[in-house]
Amino acid sequence: MIKLKLLSIFLIFSLAISAQEKKQDSTSVPEPKSFISTHQIISGGKTIRYKALASETYLKDKSEKPVASIWSVAYVQEGVSDPTKRPVTFVFNGGPGSASVWLHMGMFGPELVKINSEAKEDDGAAPYNLVNNKNGLFDLTDLVFIDPVGTGYSRVIGKGKVKDYWGLNEDAKSIAKFMRQWITENNRWFSPKFIAGESFGTVRAVTVANTLESDGQNMALNGLILISQALDYAGSTSVHDNITSYLTYLPSMAATAWYHKKAGQGKTLESFIDECRTYTFNSYAPVLYKGSLLNETEKNEAAEKLSYFTGLDKDYILKSDLRILMHRFQKELLAGQGLALGRLDGRFMGNEVDKLSDGPHLGDASDYQISAAYTAALNHYYASVLNVKMDRPYLTSNDKIYKKWNWRTVPKEKMWEPDFVNVARKLSETMRRNTEMKVMVASGYFDLICPFFDAEYTFSRNGIEREKIKMTYYEAGHMMYTHEPDFLKLSSDIREFLSN
């Protein structure tokens, strides 16, 4: 009898706990939010009616429980008779830790924030201006802007853990899963599919393209648009003893010195860059590899040539052992004026308090001089145009992500030593399996973080079929679309890429 009573009490207690757990599960994960509106825009000389869908998409675990929420904004043309002929382009930025705000409000979205195109002065505080994107691509493609987990409104939910998303492969799997889900829900499997990524977003784009080939649902892409590519970090990491970076950064230093009238005067930018390319390939590489085996005559000849290209003092270059770190170049080129160059865009200049710091101490002038405008524009646009109402702030960037990012490309149980990230061979392999996939690479001459010469270096190696790559160049920096003439050129180049 006592046993029966104890069993009854146990069953009642178990049922109560089960009911409580179910209640907690149902209340801890609310229904995903969505905000739908209709609009129209003139694009490519046509009036395009489209639906804007700003929404949360839940990713589920093996038990079909929601574990992550991906925020996206999709712009889909209405009245299309045959969606299979209508391309869709998935867009994201980089970081890791950046939301898609930059490409959304700077390049591809229906309304763009207007900032100072010539980098002569910062945009300071509000008010800012939104303008219609008269040179957009809405006549050619639907657009889906994606914010990876931890950025924008995207986050882990339920029993989800950030470690399952904050990593090179983990991130790619979640974005690939979202893309498949979006394609399925919108019946777009037969539509041409593209990805546009910027900076680390190009690493993500290549890794996602590779991931989409697996996991039981092979999805082939039609093309990748890689803006300020960073597929091989050896060429975009300016640190001591990384010989690759001394080579890949030199032409960008020359271009930037030319822009600030410190070198190459009387020559066109293109001719000066070509001259620097030749020197880098034929002369600077042997200098770096000989190192201390150089005699004094060779050292002086190299220092004079580097001074000629970079605009820096010969003695400074000799003290640098003929190896100029990028953050020092940023500080030294305009040191006489007390100014430091931007990293994302060498056209920008910051007035530094500490004139002798080893690199810009205020941060990146090309970032802090425009980021407030982009953040304000995105929040204003969401509230006033898309009628988005969320219960938490939109994170345009999240520094916590980079600090916790898992860069491993192999499982923990396998032998692994830290190395520069390189996904270029993944691209080569994907292109050989998917022979119809085309690639466009857009590079800014004044990009001092992802140098244009690094793109040339990367795409001439790694087994990549160079004839299938479209390389385009711009007289601006990392976000070349902040420069109005190059925004127009980039838009035209992408239009041609999508149309062919």
What was the pLDDT predicted at 365? 64
Tens of pLDDT, residue by residue over 438-470, are 999 999 999 999 999 999 999 999 999 989 999
- Helix ranges, 339-423 (H): 365-368, 371-384, 399-404
What was the pLDDT predicted at 123? 60
Is residue 384 over pLDDT 80? yes
User: What average pLDDT does the structure give for the chain?
Assistant: 91
Question: Greater confidence, 127 or 450?
Answer: 450
Q: What is the mean pLDDT of residues 275-298?
A: 97
Q: What is the mean pLDDT of residues 265-285?
A: 97
What was the pLDDT predicted at 385? 96
The CA-CA-CA angle for residues 211, 344, 287, to 5°, reads: 90
Q: What is the mean pLDDT of residues 53-73?
A: 96
Terminal-residue alpha carbon distance, the chain = 82
* Amino acid present at 382: Y
Closest to 340 in 3D by CA, of 319, 320, 323, 357: 357
Q: What is the mean pLDDT of residues 380-409?
A: 93
177-191, 311-325, 351-365, 469-483: least confidently modelled range: 351-365
**Contact at 8 Å (CB) between 478 and 444?**
yes
SS3 for 68?
strand
Is residue 209 over pLDDT 50? yes
Tens of pLDDT, residue by residue over 99-125, are 999 999 999 999 999 887 776 665 667
Is residue 24 over pLDDT 60? no
Tens of pLDDT, residue by residue over 333-370, are 999 999 999 999 999 888 888 777 877 776 766 666 78
What was the pLDDT predicted at 9? 43
Q: What is the CA radius of gyration of the chain?
A: 25
The CA distance from 211 to 222, in Å, is 15
**Contact at 8 Å (CB) between 201 and 99?**
no
Q: Percent of the chain, pLDDT > 90?
A: 81
The CA distance from 464 to 437, in Å, is 12
**What tokens appear for 103 in the block?**
């490409």
What was the pLDDT predicted at 364? 64
**What tokens appear for 281 in the block?**
């390939």
Q: Which residues pair with 46 in a beta bridge?
A: 43
Tens of pLDDT, residue by residue over 210-241, are 999 987 779 999 999 999 999 999 999 999 99
Q: What is the mean pLDDT of residues 249-266?
A: 97
**Contact at 8 Å (CB) between 372 and 123?**
yes
What was the pLDDT predicted at 412? 74
**What tokens appear for 203 in the block?**
């690493």
* Amino acid present at 271: S
**Contact at 8 Å (CB) between 369 and 348?**
yes
Tens of pLDDT, residue by residue over 168-185, are 999 999 999 999 999 999
> Does a cis peptide bond (omega within 30 degrees of 0) precede residue 251?
no
The CA distance from 92 to 111, in Å, is 17
Q: What is the mean pLDDT of residues 124-153?
A: 92
| Burial readout 22-54 (b: 16 or more C-beta within 10 A, e: otherwise) | eeeeeeebeeeeebeeebebebeeeebebebbb
- C-beta pairs of 489-495 under 8 Å, 24+ apart in sequence: 490/107, 490/227, 490/442, 491/107, 491/135, 491/136, 491/137, 492/135, 493/440, 493/442, 494/137, 494/196, 494/225, 494/440, 495/44, 495/137, 495/140
**Contact at 8 Å (CB) between 37 and 52?**
yes
* Amino acid present at 371: S
- Please enumerate in sequence order all residues whose Cβ is within 8 A of that of 475, keeping only pairs 6 or more positions apart, or say none: 269, 444, 445, 446, 483, 485, 486
**Contact at 8 Å (CB) between 430 and 222?**
no
